[in-house]
Amino acid sequence: MQKYSTGLLIGRFQPFHNGHLWLIKHALKFVDKLVIGIGSANVQDKNNPLGCEERKKMAEEVIVHENLSDQISKIVPLDDFHDDEKWFQNTLRQTGPIDAVIGNNEWVNDIFEKQGYPILRVGYYKRYILEGEKIRQLIKENKPWENRIPNYLLRITNYELKKKIRNP
């Protein structure tokens, strides 16, 4: 198995859930260092209720709690653009040099693949229950959702998520 120096993993983290944690840990099997991109950083709407800073705070908490500080080189905001080339150039400006992209978003993968980057499609972990949209729907319906995110994130997500999803 080839190991890359620096990989890029992009997620919206709306909210950060156990599938994201699995993806990060799995990605670290293929790279020495990982850059985490907070996707749609400039978007806040009903599908993106948490702002970029809230999502970055969740990722930072995960990194500390999971002892990943030596393996995560940085967390960067990645704004949406309606121009793939502009998005790609902005992403590289934010991330710095990368050697591979890890993830399952085919739009992202296609953009990087066209530029010659290796793409590591690692699959999903329990996507049928660990998907941001499903978690947000459970919160909206006042149904149990807390077991779908790392326990230590509950103290920083519980109030904000409920407030923003139930009262957009």
Helices and strands, number each (H, E), in the chain: 6, 5
How would you write 74-128 as a 3-class SS string? EEEEECCCCCHHHHHHHHHHHHCCCCEEECCCHHHHHHHHHCCCCEECCCCCCCC
Q: Domain 4-166 adopts which CATH fold?
A: Rossmann fold (3.40.50)
**pLDDT value of position 165:** 72
**pLDDT value of position 92:** 98
**pLDDT value of position 108:** 95
Q: What is the pLDDT along the chain (168 residues), one digit of tens a residue?
A: 679 999 999 999 999 999 999 999 999 999 999 999 999 999 999 889 999 999 999 999 999 999 999 999 999 999 999 999 999 999 999 999 999 999 989 999 999 999 999 999 987 677 767 788 999 899 888 899 999 999 998 876 666 666 667 665
